[in-house]
Structure formats: structure tokens, C-alpha cells
Amino acid sequence: MLKEAPASAMKKRISLLIALLLIVISCNDPETTVTDCVRHDGSVLRKAELKYDKNELTMKDYGIPVDSTWKLHDSLSISDQGDTTWFLLAEKLFESVDEINKSYLADTGKNSNVPRSSFFEHKFKWFTTVFYFSEKCGKSLVHGYPAANFLNTEEIEFRNMPAFKREEMLAGPDSLRYKALSDSLDEHTAKWMVKSFISEWIEETGAMCIASGKDTLVKEILRAHKTEFDTLILLNSDFSKSYARIIGDSIYKRFQPELDSAIKLSDEKLDRSFSFKDYTMQIVMPEKVKSSNGYLMSGGEVAWPVKGELFLTDDYIMWAETKEVNYWAIFLTALALLIIPFEIIKHIRKKTDKKK
């Protein structure tokens, strides 16, 4: 009799994933905004704000590591309609990105299973000094497909906008256009996730078969049926029974331990993105932002959404770059350009006088 539990778990997992993508779900969790205020020396004042309609905010609700070394400040506001909103602001000065990265490594919170890091660099170029800062979330699936293989440029830009901006567009004068774009994005995202998960499962199965000394052709056998596997999941079929029939009872029984273990491992990787607590990331650079891959806000800060699907198969890097003009270098250069010709003329005159 075929063992169905692990494959059934994968099927349910993927089905739930698609449902979450294609159905609007009201999530009543606190909203989190993380702001990194980057200074010229590389130190970072990190601020994390929680916003909620209940007076139930704690440090555990942040999507980043926050502990007792942070300064906390709570407040509330009451709207004209009498609705109360509670806020909890935490802030801490990090002397360098190394300190931020150490806090990520020591994190035990909700998002601790996602590798995250910060990076700062400044380059002196005489007339200017370039400052670069980035936040990175490491990808969950190693063998998945790049999102760009399934999403067009407009869909990717819409997906990467902060949540509040997408909501504005969906409620604005072009709402029908952006609703269609949102629906198209959901549909293509579902296909991308399903195909990426199947790819991860196949590659992990192959690696485990090699490790156990079994026939390494199992990957080729599974790859030959990738389209059928994808269709089964997208049609919400009973994957646990159907995929076994596709590859054949003899193949299934021979590689059952590896197939089941690969499903479990791939599911754990998927969960890094699937269970991630979303937040909005903002970066404030020491000078006016010159280039970035984020959304430039009216106050000069740059914003990104941080959610699991954005780093499912690709490293998600949020970066901003700015330049500081070195006026002292310009002054010295101008001074040198004025002085050097006079010195050259002076030197030529001396040589001429000696010849006379």
C-alpha cells in the first residue's frame, strides 16, 4: 500500500499557498515599519514602529530582533470617528552594520529562520564620496525559478511597491486597471511558486538518492513529469495518489524514503517564506538618494515591502545609494589650477633670465 502522508502534506501546503494568493484575506496583525537612518560614519539608528487597533503590542510582534537594549516608547491616537490606534516605537543606535548582523544571527523571533543581513560601504572619489547601504533577505528555495521568468516588468514593479502604495493605486481613478494587474500577478505568482516547489522537491530527491547510493536517474524520471505534477497541483487534484501513479508503483516504492524526506525538507524551506511576518522597510541615507531599487517617499526616505514571496527563489536586496560632494576637494583643485600656471610661468622666466 502506498504511503501518502508526506505527499498529501505537500499538496495541502501548495493548495493553501494558492488560496492565500488568489483570495483577499483580512489579516488583523500589527503593522510594522522598520526605518534605518544611515549616518556618514556607517552607524545606523534603527527604528521599529508597531501600529495596532488593540492595546496588545509587545516586543515579540516586531519582524526584526528587538530586545531590552532598545529604547521603547508607546503612544496612541484617536480619530475623529473615535477609533483608537496604539503605537509602540523601539529604537537603537548600532555603531556599524556588523552589530545589526550579529543581532540577526542571535535572533530567535518569528522571522529568525530567514537569513538577513545589512551592508554599508563608502567610496572616496575625490570630488564626491559615494555611500551605499543595503538590506538582504536570503532566498528560501535553492532550486526554484527566478520570478522574472513568470512575471512581466509591470507585475514585478507592482509587487515590489509598499503595501500602502498598492492600496492607493487599487482605490484610485485607475482602479480597474490595477485590479486586473493584481489578478494577473496573483495568477502568475501561483504558477511560479508551484513550479519552483516541484523543482526543489525533484532536486532534493536526486541529491538524497546520490547520498544513499541509489540510482541517480530518479531526477530525470521526475523531471520528465514536471508538467504533469504542476497541473495536478494547480487543478487541486489529490497529488499524493496521482503523482505516484504517474511515476509508477515500482519507482515510487524504490525511492519512497528519499521522496518523502525531500518533500519534508522542501516544505520546511517553503515555510521560511510562507510563515514570514511581513513588514515595511525604509532607509534614510545621509544625503539625498541618487539611485535605489525602492519606492522614493515624499520625505526622502526609500521604502520596500518585506514579505516572504519576494525572497522565495531570489535573494531580496533592498539598496540605496547617495553621493556627498567634497567641496574641500573642489576648492583645492581650483586653487591648484590657479597656482600651477603661475608657478610654471615663474619657472620659465627664471630659466630665461639665467640664459641672458
pLDDT tens column, 22-41: 443 445 788 999 999 999 99
Alpha helices in the chain (DSSP H): 5-22, 97-105, 153-159, 163-171, 175-211, 218-223, 226-234, 239-247, 249-274, 327-355
More confident position, 71 or 274: 71
> In terms of Cα–Cα distance, which of 106, 129, 112 is closest to 42?
129
Cell of 323: 553621493
Check if the beta carbon of residue 192 is closer than 8 Å to that of residue 147: yes
Whether 132 shows a pLDDT value over 50: the answer reads yes
DSSP single-letter state for residue 65: -
Whether 9 shows a pLDDT value over 60: the answer reads no
pLDDT of residue 240: 56
> Within a 13 Å sphere around the CA of 255, how many CA atoms are in the beta-carbon half?
29
pLDDT of residue 242: 72
The confidence band for 336, taking pLDDT boundaries of 50, 70 and 90, is confident
Query: Which stretch of DSSP H or E encloses residue 45?
Result: strand 44-52
Instruction: Report the alpha-carbon distance of residue 133 to residue 120 in Å, rounded.
Output: 5
Check if the beta carbon of residue 45 is closer than 8 Å to that of residue 96: no
Residue type, 311: F
Tens of pLDDT, residue by residue over 170-218, are 999 999 999 999 999 999 998 999 999 999 999 999 999 989 888 767 8
Whether 349 shows a pLDDT value over 60: the answer reads yes
Burial class from Cβ neighbours inside 10 Å (0-12, 13-18, 19+) for residue 83 reads exposed
Residue type, 125: K
Check if the beta carbon of residue 280 is closer than 8 Å to that of residue 303: yes
> In terms of Cα–Cα distance, which of 349, 342, 243 is closest to 6?
243
Angle formed by the axes of helices 175-211 and 226-234, nearest 10°:
130
Check if the beta carbon of residue 137 is closer than 8 Å to that of residue 104: no
DSSP letter for each residue of 237-302: --HHHHHHHHH-HHHHHHHHHHHHHHHHHHHHHHHHHHT---EEEEEE-SS-EEEESSEEPTTS-E
Number of neighbouring beta carbons within 10 Å of residue 301? 18
Instruction: Report the alpha-carbon distance of residue 339 to residue 112 in Å, rounded.
Output: 60
Mean pLDDT of the chain: 86
What are residue 124's DSSP bridge partners? 129
Tens of pLDDT, residue by residue over 298-335, are 889 999 999 999 999 999 999 999 988 777 767 877 77
